[in-house]
Structure 1
Amino acid sequence: MTKSAETSKDEGEGRRAKPRKRVNYGAGREALLGAAVRVVARGGLRKLTYRAVAEEAGVTHGLVVHHFGSRDTLIEEALTHAVHTSLSTSALEPGTGKVTDFSTGLSEMVTADPDIQVFQYELLLESRRRPELLPPLRALYDEYFEATQRELTRILPGDANPALMRLVFAALDGLVLHQLVFDEPRVTDAAVEELRVLLRLLDTDGGAEGAL
């Protein structure tokens, strides 16, 4: 092969090769979990493979295998990552006991990272077809329920009962789902404010009963 032919071959291979994204050292696992979330959010759980995650993250297939070992482990850790990220950014439990602080920024959370919310709904629906997904889903959703319960107990006189907690969380969960579908953050904000109005009424009623 002539030198010019070799050069031409090298250039052709260079054009075909896809540059890989760099994963920051020390944040590799988080980057892979984020990639898994995006893959599922776009194509459903059936699209989640080591190769799809590696391509999304710009790393080797072997690195994904090294970090997680099995697809089930990858799914569970990605779910844990998604739930904990949502809890930290949704103000579901600001810890202040003030109604005005409850679930502030909910619409902004959805707008900023819709994939992490879509991922959770995808797994919820998939659990109807794959019951083995239900135990980790239930355990992680219990964290949502417990955070809601704790904050409502701070806000309202006496302990908030579990039925009320489920009602409030279901309202917020439904608003997130609707924003993902209809993309109406202002509607989300208005509805959350109405929910706060109802919580203030419960606080007032409770206070009035306690004074009698």
Structure 2
Amino acid sequence: MTIEESAAQSSPTRAYGTGREALLAAAIRVVAKRGLRHLTYRAVAEEAGVTHGLVTYHFGTREALLAEALHYSLDRSVPGLSDAPGSGRIESLFTGLTNLVESEPDTQAFQYELILESRRNPTMRPLVRELYDAYRSTLRAELAAAGLDGDALTHLVFAALDGLVFQQICAVNDVPTDSALEQLRQILATMRDRARQSSGDD
């Protein structure tokens, strides 16, 4: 089974048992700390403190483990885009993002490892596409609710968020992420107000 097939077969309403969730969290930590090429049943088992047979039992293939780990990481990350989903309140956008990255840096590092590996391994690209699509579709819905729509704007805002998160986990920027996010919210609010004004003038 390919990675793409594993991703396609994952349930859209995912439920993780306690033991399964612990294995997914362990897989994310392994990739975040050691890179994707070190993701093995044995490495995950050692990280989780279980036998590697248990990892095999739950996931069957490395591809299935990786696909589920991605979904698990998205379930933990995507809600960080807004603390009031669907409200249209720009002031609610990205407010918990900095704390999310601080509390779960391995989750973000895991996703970046997938992205980098996809440059070397084309079979990884469907997972990376799924990763970006999940963020972009949620972000586009939030922007649309605020009266700001369009693929180009969604791409631009997501690129800014993606870069800020990457710089935060790598600790390479002296400007606090929260300050940059506040500037981004102000830009979006200005765009929204101008759009409303323009619409009113018509």
TM range (shorter): 0.7 to 0.9
Counterpart residue identity of residue 166, structure 2: L
Residues 8-43 of structure 1, C-alpha deviations (whole Å, 9 max, x = no match): xxxxxxxxxxxxxxxxx9401110000000000000
- Other-structure match for 2:34: 43
Normalized against structure 2, the TM-score is what?
A: 0.87
**Larger relative contact order (CA 8 Å, sep ≥ 6):** 2
Q: In structure 2, how many angstroms separate the alpha carbons of the residues matched to 1:77 and 1:210?
A: 44
> Does residue 191 in structure 1 map to residue 185 in structure 2?
no
Is contact 2:67–2:127 with CA below 8 Å preserved after alignment?
yes
Is contact 1:41–1:118 with CA below 8 Å preserved after alignment?
yes
> Does residue 203 in structure 1 map to residue 188 in structure 2?
no
> 1:88 Cα deviation (Å)?
2.5
Residues 83 and 197 of structure 1: CA distance in aligned 2, closer, same or farther (over 3 Å): same
Counterpart residue identity of residue 82, structure 2: A
Structure 1 runs, 4 residues or longer, greater than 4 Å off: 183-186
Residues 141-189 of structure 1, C-alpha deviations (whole Å, 9 max, x = no match): 2111110100000112xx5110000000110111000001116696100
What pairs with 1:10-159 in structure 2 (closer than 5 Å)?
26-91=17-82, 94-156=85-147
Instruction: Please identify the structure whose Cα radius of gyration is greater.
Output: 1
Query: Share of identical aligned residues, percent?
Result: 49
> 1:136 Cα deviation (Å)?
2.1
Q: In structure 1, how many angstroms separate the alpha carbons of the residues matched to 2:33 and 2:194?
A: 46
Is contact 1:108–1:185 with CA below 8 Å preserved after alignment?
no
> Does residue 174 in structure 1 map to residue 163 in structure 2?
yes
Residues 27 and 180 of structure 1: CA distance in aligned 2, closer, same or farther (over 3 Å): same
Counterpart residue identity of residue 49, structure 1: T
Residues 82-106 of structure 1, C-alpha deviations (whole Å, 9 max, x = no match): 1121013442772211011001111
Unaligned 5+ segments in structure 2 are 1-15
The CA RMSD over aligned residues, in Å, is 1.8
Residues 92 and 182 of structure 1: CA distance in aligned 2, closer, same or farther (over 3 Å): same
- Other-structure match for 2:152: 163
Unaligned 5+ segments in structure 1 are 1-24
